[in-house]
Chain A
């Protein structure tokens, strides 16, 4: 089992958001977590990535059998966990290329691997950039500064391709994308599916799942998984709406 979340309770600012969430994902699988606003989707992604202030009061997160709970975000990254964020931050003063090099080498260092020189990083970035239509010009700009919503999300997926994580969490990667950008991102995600890699796709809407087809779908409501099913559950959700599905599950 690559990811095993057992009875997870997470409190933010003194308020319990996740209330006993359990979930298992095997290597090679893609799972979708769907839920309405306020159900705890982003809290789950932040708790998995180890954000300060997301306090685990009960339960465990196991990653390849190892307890993540006390691990720093950077340690999780070095171990192969990647979070594609809903709102990637803009950092003026740091070029995108320099950021990619710094991050890639920080992960390599933490794993005891040798650092890549600038030429090697550039070569690897270029290999991945084509499919995602990330231009040389974007790489020279300050990180995410002046990027459109689509460009930001494409850069998130480029990072996923570059870092080659074993567990990728995509938090609302479809939000704010027009249909062309959505297809491009979906193509990028599909290209990274592999038997060694697990993916967790967190989304409010079903439309991304038309292009990125999950093995399992989980419905999150009020901090718990209330229903699970195959890919057809996403369609059912789309047809009935969250309210009805949650009511049926109760």
Chain B
């Protein structure tokens, strides 16, 4: 069933109007309470397309790539790009981005794709995984100022996407990304969000489990020596027999602010849905802040939904125990912080990716605990 869509240009124009009607999100909007984007941007002209660009060092064979700045989008791009909208910032990226890329995967690709984003302004990313296709996508890149990315992942039946999303530490970056994921029957989206603190950063992840047997496994670690990190997830169980997990761990030092908002929606009739969410924070300093906000909206009867959120300090009892074993206070703190993050990092698929994130985590922990 293909619905007739307006042309890409018409969709872009409509998105522009949508953005102007909604405006830049600010802290009086409930979902942006802890992340005042308007405050961070000030009077910056955000409708400029900017210099934002992307790079893939080595594109593995078997992947079709379309550069969105080129003319003549193929049918698989024009049919899917921006077909639905996910809030003001997603609309802005669709309306104003002139650069970006679309990938089409039709088989299992064993080699990871490393997507490096750079520059400021708006970018658009689309990845289409066709039936039973398989991909690992590692996305990273800091910004010197404001960058807004709108990303769509479409997973057809039996497709699997493993996504590692890294936000490197930065004092200047205001990074916003809206990630919309659509999963058909038996598709799997695994994602890990590693964030090391920007001036302001927000990853808005919206996962729609639209086919039976579809699964989403979301995890993340944020280690903030300073700055701000917000990962907001919304998992929609649109049909039954779908599964999702969310495991997020935060370590906040300095004057940082770490935010996790996790919404789970189970649609009417989506019986047999299974969802588990855990969010935990570790505060290293009194001046740091961690905001964890779980939200459940369950309209079906027969579902499994569990969630838990907790914020605490490093356990004094454990620290003392380790020190009596000869481990210095500094090393003991590092050991406990690592241990705290362990299960979330363990969610990352691939030993190389895990090791890479551990290195970044350890460097950030050392900075966060330096005070």
Q: A residues engaging B (CB < 8 A)?
A: 49-52, 72-74, 76-78, 82-83, 85, 88-89, 91-94, 99, 102-104, 106-107, 110, 159, 163
Q: A102-B327, A103-B327 are in contact. Are A88 and B321 (CB under 8 A)?
A: yes
Instruction: Name, among B325, B340, B343, the residue most crowded by chain A CB atoms within 10 Å (CB to CB).
Output: B325
Of B326, B335, B343, which contacts A77 at CB under 8 A?
B326
Q: How large is the interface on B (under 10, 10 to 19, 20 to 34, 35 or more residues)?
A: 20 to 34
Cα distance A87–B318 in the bound complex, in angstroms: 11
Provide the residues of chain B in CB contact with A102, threshold 8 Å.
Answer: 327, 331, 335
Q: Does A110 contact B326, Cβ atoms closer than 8 Å?
A: yes
Q: B residues engaging A (CB < 8 A)?
A: 315-318, 320-329, 331-332, 335-336, 338-343
Of A51, A85, A163, which contacts B326 at CB under 8 A?
A163
Q: Does B320 contact A106, Cβ atoms closer than 8 Å?
A: no
Residue of B whose beta carbon sits closest to that of A53 = B316
Q: A52-B320, A94-B335 are in contact. Are A72 and B326 (CB under 8 A)?
A: no
Q: Does B326 contact A93, Cβ atoms closer than 8 Å?
A: no
Residue of A whose beta carbon sits closest to that of B338 = A93
Cα distance A93–B336 in the bound complex, in angstroms: 8
Within the complex, the shortest CB–CB distance from B248 to chain A, in Å, comes to 15
By secondary structure, the B interface counts as: helix
Q: Does B321 contact A89, Cβ atoms closer than 8 Å?
A: yes
Residue of A whose beta carbon sits closest to that of B332 = A74
Cα distance A15–B266 in the bound complex, in angstroms: 54
Within the complex, the shortest CB–CB distance from B324 to chain A, in Å, comes to 5
Q: Does B342 contact A93, Cβ atoms closer than 8 Å?
A: yes
**26 intermolecular pairs with C-beta atoms under 8 Å apart:** A51-B320, A52-B320, A72-B323, A72-B329, A73-B320, A73-B323, A74-B324, A74-B326, A74-B327, A77-B324, A88-B321, A89-B315, A89-B321, A91-B322, A93-B341, A93-B342, A94-B339, A99-B322, A99-B325, A102-B331, A103-B327, A106-B325, A106-B331, A159-B325, A163-B325, A163-B326
Residue of A whose beta carbon sits closest to that of B325 = A103
Q: Does B339 contact A92, Cβ atoms closer than 8 Å?
A: yes
Q: Does A91 contact B338, Cβ atoms closer than 8 Å?
A: no
Instruction: Name, among A77, A82, A103, the residue most crowded by chain B CB atoms within 10 Å (CB to CB).
Output: A103
Cα distance A77–B324 in the bound complex, in angstroms: 6
Cα distance A89–B320 in the bound complex, in angstroms: 10
Of A74, A88, A91, A163, which contacts B328 at CB under 8 A?
A74
Within the complex, the shortest CB–CB distance from B115 to chain A, in Å, comes to 30
Q: A102-B335, A106-B331 are in contact. Are A89 and B318 (CB under 8 A)?
A: yes
Q: Does B324 contact A78, Cβ atoms closer than 8 Å?
A: no
A-B contacts besides A72-B323, A94-B335, A102-B327, 17 pairs, CB < 8 Å: A50-B323, A50-B324, A51-B320, A72-B329, A74-B325, A74-B328, A74-B329, A77-B326, A78-B326, A83-B324, A85-B321, A91-B321, A91-B336, A106-B326, A106-B328, A107-B326, A159-B325
Cα distance A49–B317 in the bound complex, in angstroms: 13
Within the complex, the shortest CB–CB distance from A163 to chain B, in Å, comes to 7
Q: Does A106 contact B327, Cβ atoms closer than 8 Å?
A: yes
Q: Does A91 contact B325, Cβ atoms closer than 8 Å?
A: no
Q: Does B331 contact A91, Cβ atoms closer than 8 Å?
A: no
Residue of A whose beta carbon sits closest to that of B339 = A93
Provide the residues of chain A in CB contact with B335, threshold 8 Å.
Answer: 94, 102
Q: Does A77 contact B339, Cβ atoms closer than 8 Å?
A: no
Provide the residues of chain A in CB contact with B323, threshold 8 Å.
Answer: 50, 72-74, 77
Of A52, A77, A93, which contacts B325 at CB under 8 A?
A77
Provide the residues of chain A in CB contact with B340, threshold 8 Å.
Answer: 93
Provide the residues of chain B in CB contact with A85, threshold 8 Å.
Answer: 321, 324
Within the complex, the shortest CB–CB distance from A210 to chain B, in Å, comes to 28
Provide the residues of chain B in CB contact with A50, threshold 8 Å.
Answer: 323-324
Cα distance A74–B335 in the bound complex, in angstroms: 15
Residue of B whose beta carbon sits closest to that of A107 = B326
Provide the residues of chain A in CB contact with B342, threshold 8 Å.
Answer: 92-94
Q: Does A91 contact B317, Cβ atoms closer than 8 Å?
A: no
Q: Does B315 contact A73, Cβ atoms closer than 8 Å?
A: no
Cα distance A103–B315 in the bound complex, in angstroms: 18
Of B318, B322, B336, which contacts A103 at CB under 8 A?
B322
Cα distance A11–B336 in the bound complex, in angstroms: 28
Cα distance A78–B325 in the bound complex, in angstroms: 8
Cα distance A74–B338 in the bound complex, in angstroms: 20
Cα distance A52–B329 in the bound complex, in angstroms: 12
Provide the residues of chain A in CB contact with B327, threshold 8 Å.
Answer: 74, 102-103, 106
Of A83, A89, A93, A163, which contacts B317 at CB under 8 A?
A89
Cα distance A163–B325 in the bound complex, in angstroms: 9
Cα distance A85–B325 in the bound complex, in angstroms: 11
Within the complex, the shortest CB–CB distance from A94 to chain B, in Å, comes to 5
Cα distance A141–B323 in the bound complex, in angstroms: 21
Cα distance A82–B326 in the bound complex, in angstroms: 9
Within the complex, the shortest CB–CB distance from B316 to chain A, in Å, comes to 8
Cα distance A90–B95 in the bound complex, in angstroms: 53
Cα distance A89–B323 in the bound complex, in angstroms: 12
Q: Which 5 A/B pairs are nearest by Cβ-Cβ distance?
A: A93-B339, A93-B342, A107-B326, A77-B326, A103-B325
Provide the residues of chain B in CB contact with A163, threshold 8 Å.
Answer: 325-326
Cα distance A83–B329 in the bound complex, in angstroms: 17
Cα distance A110–B336 in the bound complex, in angstroms: 20
Within the complex, the shortest CB–CB distance from A77 to chain B, in Å, comes to 4
